[in-house]
Structure 1
Amino acid sequence: MFEKEAISITEQIEKLKSRGLIILPEDEAEHHLSHISYYRLGEYWHSMQEDKEKHLFKANSTFADVMALYNFDRELKLLIFDVIEKIEISLRTQLIYQVSHEHGAWWFQNFELFDDSQALVKTLANLEEELSRSKDPTIKNHYRKHKDDKRFPPSWKSLEQTSFGSLSKLYGNLKHTVKSKDGVAKFYGAVNHTFLPSWLQSIAQIRNYCAHHSRLWNKNLPGAPKLLPNPPNAWVKDVPQQHEFQKLYVHLCLMKYLLNVVQPENQFTEKLEELMKKYPNVDPFALGLKEGWNIEPLWKK
C-alpha cells in the first residue's frame, strides 16, 4: 500500500540536501519547485543518483545542473516542435492533394482504399469528434450550407482539422495499390510506401511528447523506423544501428531528411548546434548524438 504523504516545498529541499544534492541560495530552488513539480524535476536528477534505491546523489551533483538539464530539454522540445510543425503542414498538403486527385474529395471515407477497416473506423470517429469541436468558420459554414450532405466535408477541409497522429495513421493504412501513397513517399525522398509510414509514426510519437511537455532528454523512445538502404537525398554516412533507435538521434535525422525537402534552407543544424553550446554540461550521447554528427552530409545541407 502506498503510504507517502505530500510534503512542503521546504521539506522537499531538505530531503534533496540530505540525499547529497548541492542546493545554493542563488539556485532559487523554492521558486523553481513552486512552478515545476518535484516529481517532474525528478526525471532529470534521477541520472545523477548513484544509489537509485536510496535516492543518494553522486558527489558534486547540483540543483543548478538539474535546472540546466530541464531547461535544455524544454528548449530542445520547442526546436523539435517547430520542425515537426513544418513537416506536418507539408504532409497534410501533399496527402490531400495527391490522393484527392487520384480518388476524389472523399477518399478518406472510402473503405476500399484502406487495409484495416477497424483502424479507419477509429480514425474517422476521432475526425468526427475533432470536426464537432472545431470553431473553424470554414467547417461551420460548410455544415450550414450543406445540411443535407451527410458526408464529412471534403478532404481539404476535414483533414486540416485532424491531428498529426491521425494523419500518419491514415497514410499508413492506405493500400499499397493506391498510387498516390507511393507518390507522397517519393515527394519526400522516401522512395516508396515501405519506409515513410514508420517515420511518420515515430515523429507523431515525439510530437506528443513535445505537446504534453514530457521529457525527451535521455529518454528511451519506442518504435523502430525503417531506414532507406540507399536514400536519394543527403543522408548520414555513420548510419544508426537498430540498438541505437531508442535514442533521439535517428529520429532527429529523419526529421532533418524530411525538413530538407520541406524547407531546403532550414537552420535546424545551426539551432541544434547553438543549443548544445548553450548547455555544455549536457552529454550529447544521452541523445544519441554521434561525434561529428553536424558534418554529416544530411546535417551539412
Structure 2
Amino acid sequence: MPPRPRSRGDAHYAKPALPHAELAKQWSDRGMAVPDPDRALRYLRHIGYYRLSPYTIPFQFRDGSHRFRPGTTFDDILDLYVFDRQLRLLVLDALERVEVAVRAGLTDIMSERAGGPHWYVDPMHFTSRSKHDRLLSEIRDECAQQLRRQPEPAGDAMTYPSALEHYLITYGFPELPPSWVMVEMLTIGRLSHLYSNISPRSARTAIARSLGLNEAVLTSWLKTYVRVRNVCAHHGRLWNVGLGVYPAIPADASITWLVDRTVLDEVDARRHRLYPVLVSLQTVLSTVSPRSTWAQRLVQLLEQHTRVPLPAMGMFDGWSEDPFWTAHLGR
C-alpha cells in the first residue's frame, strides 16, 4: 500500500526575494569564505542560490544556526555541486544500459514466447486488463501524435525517419507497431509498469534472467530506477537525496552482490541511501556490459572529490575493498 499523504503545514511563507549580492553576503556573514565575490555572484546568477543551498548543509554546524564550520569556502560548496552533477551523469550512463537491456530482453523473449511481434496487443499476456487498456491507449495516442508532426523534407540523405514514423506511413495493418518499436516509445516508468503486468510469471522470470536477476528483484529495481532516472533527468540533487524507494537486496546467491551483506542490513541507514542503488547498477552491468569501466569511473570520481561526505551516500571508507567491487576494478 502506498503511504498516506502527509497533511499540509499551516504557516505563512513570508521570506522575501533577495538580490544575489545580499544572498552571497548572507553566506559570508555566516562564516563562509568567499574570496572572489564577483565569481560567486556569477554562479549564483546561473545556478541559483536555492539550488546551491542544499549543498551548503554538510558544511554547517548542526545547531540550527546555519553557521559554517571554520575553513569552509565557496569552492567547497561548488565542488560538491559539481560532484553531484558528475555523479548524475555517471548514474545515467549505467541506467541507459540497463533500460536498453530491459527493452531488448522483454521484446525478444515475449515476441518468441507469445506468438510474434504484436504479442502485446493481446490481453491474455497481461495480469491487469485495465493496465493493458491504458498501455494500448497511450501507444495509440503517441502514434496519432507522430502522424500529426511535420514530416522531414524528402530527399535529405542525412535525415532518417524514426522506426515509428516508418511503420505508420508504410503499413496500415496491424494498427500498432511491432514490439521492438513499441518498447522504444516507452519511458522507463511505463516500461516498469509493462514488465510488472506481463503474465505468466515465468515470462517475467525469463526476462529478469536475461539481466542476471530474478523476477522479484527486477520488479523492485525497476521501480527504484524510475525514481533515480527522474532525479537525474531533471538535474535534481542525487548524492544525498531521500529516494523513497530502494532496491531489494537479493537473497538469491546466483545474483552478483556484495560479499559482506551486513553493510546493507535493513536496520542500517545505508540501506536507505544511494549506495545500494550503485551496487545494483553494477550488478546489472556485470551481465549486460561485462567490460564496462563504470566501477573504475565511480572510484575515480570519488577520488577527485575527497571532501564528499561518504556516509550521506551510504558509503564508507574501504567500500571498494569488497570482492564485489575489486572484481570489477581489476584488483
Same fold (TM over 0.5): yes
- Residue matched to 2:237: 215
126 and 67 in structure 1: CA distance in 2 versus 1, 3 angstrom threshold: farther
295 and 130 in structure 1: CA distance in 2 versus 1, 3 angstrom threshold: farther
CA positional deviation for 1:157: 1.1
- Residue matched to 1:164: 188
Counting aligned pairs with the same residue, the percent is 29
- Residue matched to 2:206: 183
237 and 102 in structure 1: CA distance in 2 versus 1, 3 angstrom threshold: same
> What is the 5 A alignment of 1:1-301?
1-25=12-36, 28-50=39-61, 53-103=64-114, 104-134=116-146, 136-147=161-172, 149=174, 151-175=175-199, 177-190=200-213, 192-239=214-261, 240-242=264-266, 243=268, 244-299=270-325, 300-301=327-328
Range with greater deviation from structure 2 (53-62 or 31-40): 53-62
Query: Does the 8 Å CA contact 1:188/1:258 hold for their aligned counterparts?
Result: yes
State how far apart, in whole Å, the 2-side matches of 1:133 and 1:61 are: 52
State how far apart, in whole Å, the 1-side matches of 2:206 and 2:38 are: 54
Range with greater deviation from structure 2 (92-101 or 12-21): 12-21
Range with greater deviation from structure 2 (238-247 or 155-164): 238-247
TM-score, with normalisation over the residues of structure 2? 0.83
Per-residue deviation, residues 24-52 of structure 1 (Å, max 9, x unmatched):
11782011111101111011112333257
CA positional deviation for 1:145: 2.4
Query: Does the 8 Å CA contact 2:55/2:77 hold for their aligned counterparts?
Result: yes
Query: Does the 8 Å CA contact 1:235/1:297 hold for their aligned counterparts?
Result: no
State how far apart, in whole Å, the 2-side matches of 1:285 and 1:53 are: 21
Letter in 2 for 1:19: R
Structure 2, unmatched stretches of 5+, are 1-11, 150-160
CA positional deviation for 1:200: 1.3
State how far apart, in whole Å, the 2-side matches of 1:207 and 1:277 are: 24
Letter in 2 for 1:251: V
CA positional deviation for 1:53: 4.5
Aligned residue for 1:160, secondary structure, equals: helix
Aligned residue for 2:82, secondary structure, equals: helix
Structure 1, unmatched stretches of 5+, are none
Letter in 2 for 1:152: L
Query: Does the 8 Å CA contact 1:86/1:262 hold for their aligned counterparts?
Result: yes
State how far apart, in whole Å, the 1-side matches of 2:315 and 2:142 are: 37
Range with greater deviation from structure 2 (202-211 or 13-22): 13-22
CA positional deviation for 1:54: 4.4
State how far apart, in whole Å, the 2-side matches of 1:265 and 1:184 are: 21
Query: Does the 8 Å CA contact 2:95/2:229 hold for their aligned counterparts?
Result: yes
Count matched residues. Answer: 298
Letter in 2 for 1:165: G
CA positional deviation for 1:209: 0.8
State how far apart, in whole Å, the 1-side matches of 2:221 and 2:142 are: 24
Range with greater deviation from structure 2 (97-106 or 223-232): 223-232
Letter in 1 for 2:183: L
Per-residue deviation, residues 260-300 of structure 1 (Å, max 9, x unmatched):
11111111111011101100111222211233322323222
Query: Does the 8 Å CA contact 2:250/2:257 hold for their aligned counterparts?
Result: no
Range with greater deviation from structure 2 (66-75 or 20-29): 20-29
TM-score, with normalisation over the residues of structure 1? 0.90
